[in-house]
Chain A
C-alpha cells in the first residue's frame, strides 16, 4: 500500500512476536521415551508447541532441545513430570509457570527465569538475569553462576540457590521459602520481606527494610548440607542467616483507620 502525503511507515508487525497461526513442527527424533530436536530455526511458539506435543501427545518423558538461541519464553507452562535439557541459553521468562519437570539449562537464562514455578527442579549451569525465581511457589532453582537484581521477588515457597553473586534487592518482598546465595549480595537485601529465610555466604552490601540477622539452628545446617549434597555443589561456605524482623506495618494489629492516626 502506498503512503499518503505525510504518512510514515510505523509497521505494526514491528511489534512482532505474536504467531497466532503457528503449527507443531514435528521435527523431533523420537526413540521410546526420549526425544531430541534442534530449535535453531524455530520460533518461540514452535519450540513450545513441539515440547508440548512430545510431552502430552507422544508419551515422551525426556527431551533434549538443541540451540535454543536465547529466545524468550521457552519451556513455559510445562505441567507434568518429565526431564528437559536445553543445550544452550534461554532468553527472558524462560521456564515460567512450570509444575513438576526436572530441567537442566547448559547456558544462561535471562530475566524472570522460572517465574511462578510450582514444583520441580531447575539447574542452570551458567548465569541468570534479574528477577530470577520471581514469585515461585515451590521446587528448587539452582543457578551455578551469578544472578541480577531482585532475585526471588515475591517468592512464596521453594528454594533458590545461587552459587555466585546476586544484585540489589535480593529477596525483595520474600514471603516464604529459602534463598541460599553463596557469593556477595548487593544493597537492600530482603527489603520488605514478610517471612522466609535468606542465607548469604559472602558479603552483604546493606540490609533492606525489616531484614535482620537470624539465629542459626541445626535445621539450617541440615538444610544447607542436604541441598549442597543433592546438587553436587561441594562444601558449603559459612553462611549468615537473615530473616524478617516483623516490624513493618503489616505486622501490627491496627485497623487501616487507626494506622492513619498513628502515621499522622
Chain B
C-alpha cells in the first residue's frame, strides 16, 4: 500500500531529516521494503549528484569490492572528461555515493555518461535536492546516511510495500525527474497506462531505471514544465493523462505539491498553517512531528495543491 509524506517550512529551514524520519517511521507498517527521502537543503552553486554503483542486495562475491572500486574510478574519469570538477565526494555505504561538482553543461549528457558505467544509477541531481533511498525502515536508512540534522526547507518521503517491481534501490521512491535537476516525486497507487506513458516519454529521450510505474510521474511533470507549463498546471494535466488510482507528491526547488486521482482512492491527510504544511498518508505521521492538537482534513478527489516557499 505504501506511505508517503511531505513537509514544507515557509519560514526558513528546519531539521527536515529528523522530521521526515519520524513521519516515515510512524508509517512503517505501510511499507517495510524500502524507505526514501527527497530533501531540499540550502541552495548551492555546486551540483550535488547522488548515485549508486551497485544495489544494496547485490551478492557480495569475492570481486565485489574491486568491482566497485573500478566503477568508482570510471565515474571519476567520466566526470573529468565531461568537464565536471569534483569539489567534494563522500560515501555513506559501499555502494551509494554523493559528489558535489562544478558543472553547468547538459544534465542529460552528464547522466547518460555516468550511467554507461556498469551498475551506475544516478538517484538525483540538483543544486539543493538530494535523494537518499535504501532498503529497510526509516530509522535504518536515516542512520546509515546520517540524515539527522539535515537542514532544509521542504522534503518528501516514502515507505514502500513492493507490489509490481523488485525490492531494490531502483524500485524505491522518491524518483528523480531525469534529466531535470531538483524535481522529485513520491507516489502511492497504481498507474494503469504506465506502459503507454513510458514508451511515449522514452521516445522523447527519457530513460527509466526501474519497472516501477511511479517513475514516470516525475519525468512526465518535468517534461511538461520544460514545455513551459507551471507546476500546478502540469499536475492538473496529469490528472487527465494518467489513469489509475493515485496520490502523488512532487517537490521542486521552491515548491511542494500534491495531486489526487478522480476517485480519491488513495489516502491523504493534510495539515496547513501559515508557515508549515505537512501531509501524509496517515495522520499519525503528522502527529510524529506536531505534538499539540491540530485540525486536519482529507483533500477531495482531483485536487491539486501547491505551496511555494
Measured CB to CB, the residues of A under 8 A from B are 5-12, 14-17, 69-72, 88-89, 91-92, 107-108, 110-111, 126-127, 129-130, 145-150, 165, 167-169, 186-187
Contact of B32 among A7, A14, A70, A72 (CB under 8 A): A14
Q: Is the CB of A129 within 8 A of B32?
A: no
Q: Is the CB of A168 within 8 A of B300?
A: yes
Asked if B293 is at the interface of the complex by the 8 Å CB criterion, the answer is: yes
**CA of A92 to CA of B57, assembled, Å:** 34
Q: Is the CB of A5 within 8 A of B60?
A: yes
Q: For the complex formed, measure the closest distance between the CB of A47 and the CB atoms of chain B, giving whole angstroms.
A: 13
Q: Is the CB of B300 within 8 A of A91?
A: no
Nearest to B144 among chain A residues (CB) is A9
Measured CB to CB, the residues of B under 8 A from A are 28-29, 32-33, 56-61, 135-137, 140, 167, 262-265, 267, 269, 282-284, 286-287, 293, 295-298, 300-301
Q: Write out the residue numbers on chain A whose beta carbons fall within 8 Å of the beta carbon of B265.
A: 149
Q: For the complex formed, measure the closest distance between the CB of B285 and the CB atoms of chain A, giving whole angstroms.
A: 9
Q: Is the CB of B282 within 8 A of A10?
A: no
Query: Given the known A-B contacts A69-B287, A108-B283, A187-B262, are A6 and B58 also in contact in the complex, defined by CB atoms under 8 Å?
Result: yes
Q: For the complex formed, measure the closest distance between the CB of B297 and the CB atoms of chain A, giving whole angstroms.
A: 5
Q: Write out the residue numbers on chain B whose beta carbons fall within 8 Å of the beta carbon of A17.
A: 29
**CA of A127 to CA of B33, assembled, Å:** 32
Q: For the complex formed, measure the closest distance between the CB of A104 and the CB atoms of chain B, giving whole angstroms.
A: 15
Q: Write out the residue numbers on chain B whose beta carbons fall within 8 Å of the beta carbon of A150.
A: 264
**CA of A223 to CA of B297, assembled, Å:** 29
Q: For the complex formed, measure the closest distance between the CB of A34 and the CB atoms of chain B, giving whole angstroms.
A: 22
Q: For the complex formed, measure the closest distance between the CB of B199 and the CB atoms of chain A, giving whole angstroms.
A: 30
**CA of A10 to CA of B262, assembled, Å:** 34
Q: Write out the residue numbers on chain B whose beta carbons fall within 8 Å of the beta carbon of A147.
A: 298
**CA of A173 to CA of B56, assembled, Å:** 46
Q: Write out the residue numbers on chain B whose beta carbons fall within 8 Å of the beta carbon of A11.
A: 32, 136-137, 140
Nearest to B295 among chain A residues (CB) is A126
The 10 closest A-B pairs by CB, nearest first: A5-B60, A14-B32, A148-B298, A149-B264, A70-B283, A6-B59, A168-B301, A167-B300, A14-B137, A8-B57
Q: How many contacting A-B pairs (Cβ < 8 A)?
A: 105
Nearest to A110 among chain B residues (CB) is B283
**CA of A89 to CA of B301, assembled, Å:** 23
Q: Write out the residue numbers on chain B whose beta carbons fall within 8 Å of the beta carbon of A72.
A: 282, 284
Q: Is the CB of B298 within 8 A of A91?
A: no
Max chain A Cβ within 10 angstroms of own Cβ: one of B136, B140, B283: B283
Contact of B298 among A5, A12, A88, A127 (CB under 8 A): A127
**CA of A150 to CA of B296, assembled, Å:** 18
Q: For the complex formed, measure the closest distance between the CB of A131 and the CB atoms of chain B, giving whole angstroms.
A: 10
Query: Given the known A-B contacts A9-B135, A149-B264, are A15 and B301 also in contact in the complex, defined by CB atoms under 8 Å?
Result: no
Q: Write out the residue numbers on chain B whose beta carbons fall within 8 Å of the beta carbon of A168.
A: 262-264, 300-301
Write 20 A-B pairs (CB below 8 A) sorted by A numbering: A8-B56, A8-B136, A9-B140, A11-B137, A12-B32, A14-B29, A69-B287, A70-B282, A72-B282, A108-B295, A108-B296, A111-B267, A127-B296, A148-B300, A149-B265, A167-B300, A168-B301, A186-B264, A186-B300, A187-B301
